[in-house]
Amino acid sequence: MKSSSVTAGPSWTVTFASDARSGSRGHIGRPLTRLGVFVLPILLSSVLSGCGGQKTSTTAPNGAGQTAALSGGELVHLASVPISLDPKTFAFLPAGDKSKYAGTTFRIGYGKGGASAIVKLQGTLEARFKPLGVSVEWLQFPMGPQMMEGIGAGSLDLGSCASTPPIFAQAANVDFVYVATTPPGKSNGAILIPKNSPIKSVKDLRGKRIAFQPGSVWHYALVKILEANGLKYDDIIPAKMAPADSSTAFNSGAIDAWVQGEPYVTLAQRKSGARILVNTAAIGNTGGFYLGSAPRVRQYPELFRIALEELKRAGDWMKQNPHQAAVLTTERAGLDVATIEKTIREGNNTRFLPITPDVIKSQQQQADLFSKIKILPTQIDVKQKVLTAKEYAVLLPDNRFGLPDKARIAANPAAPTKTN
């Protein structure tokens, strides 16, 4: 198993309309990457996730006896984590000649926490791919927008993020497709204000300097919350920053408010007494997405299906065992167990659903809003990044994901017909 940590990406970008108030054209205060707009924290089943340049090798977990020493003195034997359920649960293997897969490397994005990190720890994807002669390369990303950058650079096959980064990626002509969507969990973002701030309501944000990550779901949340309270985006001073910079600016008093999600909300409350002005539940939770390189999805849909099966297996285990999952990932995430456990409990549902007309409509409405207020330089058509029903029937595992049996079997007669 190859593992890489990605910290910088290629030079492609979306240019925002000029913003004299923040002195930027799609630029972040201290850019995480050369891609100025794609910076987004994802909800921790996807949160703590992103793309890179410096490569490091790791050793895959190899079963019995391996122990992870974690904070709080808790020890977890990786081989004891019961996520490899009855093998009949997911027994799919491509039909016909399997030699076409031999020598292929499947490149998957992961973060410090979430289902992808659990799959990486367990080595289950490597085990599934071994009979096909397929190897796995794991690319670590700090956030979802960098995952989109990795796909755009041609260095990543499959990644996950919230709803907004793919909209900006499409505007940047990234060659990706929507692979699957995950239903929303509890909304876990907020507009934070300092402990002693005089701000009492959203209307008081007029003329205030507000930090957020451009091109992120929190960017969208800010626009919607302002709109719902009679304010325009032009009424505030945008401070486009990554979370680490925002945290520093927030604690030093350099900004008046900060739009962010978990686990940063809980950390800010604990460390500085930050107050929640308004929860992003006001706009609802948009859910999350798995996205793939369009050429690779069409060339090897069966490999993506196997990867989704293992991600779902791990995600289900995390939801059923949030404390154990938090203990497993706390050291790698650099956060305490309680914060990670809370994020897992409130994160996105682990079911994978196909991209339906309602999903497309929701994404299009968000894209149109960004175009309307000139944050995106052009309008996009979300449908251009959606596969056909037949393609999804091959790609998504079984009818547990909402695909009719007849359509699935017609597209892939060799697929198993029974599900748990």
CATH of 2-186+287-411 among 3.10.20.30, 3.40.190.10, 3.40.50.1950, 3.60.10.10: 3.40.190.10
* Partners of 341 in the β-ladder: none
DSSP-derived 3-state class of residue 210: strand
Full-model pTM? 0.74
Rounded Cα distance, 164 and 144, in Å: 9
Q: Supply the pLDDT for residue 140.
A: 86
DSSP-derived 3-state class of residue 49: strand
- Helix, strand, coil % (nearest 5) of the chain? 40, 15, 45
Token digits of residue 128: 């599934």
Q: Could you tell me the mean pLDDT of each successive run of 10 residues in the chain, 420 residues long?
A: 41 36 34 34 32 33 33 35 42 66 93 81 91 93 82 94 92 94 76 96 97 89 94 96 89 95 85 93 75 96 92 86 82 73 71 84 94 92 93 70 38 34
Q: Supply the pLDDT for residue 137.
A: 96
Read out DSSP for 134-182? -EEEEEE-SSHHHHHHHHHTT--SEEEEESSHHHHHHHTT--EEEEEEE
CA dihedral 29, 31, 37, 43 (to 10 degrees): -100
Taking the alpha carbons of 298, 299, 301, 307 in that order, is the dihedral positive or negative? Answer: negative
| CATH level 3 topology of 189-282 | D-Maltodextrin-Binding Protein; domain 2 (3.40.190)
Q: Supply the pLDDT for residue 217.
A: 87
Q: Are 176 and 295 in contact (CB under 8 A)?
A: no
Kindly give, in sequence order, each residue whose CB lies less than 8 Å from that of residue 102, ignoring residues fewer than 6 positions away.
132, 133, 134
Domain extents in the chain: 2-186+287-411, 189-282
Q: Are 39 and 215 in contact (CB under 8 A)?
A: yes
* Partners of 239 in the β-ladder: 211
* Matching fold, domains 2-186+287-411 and 189-282: yes
Rounded Cα distance, 72 and 50, in Å: 27
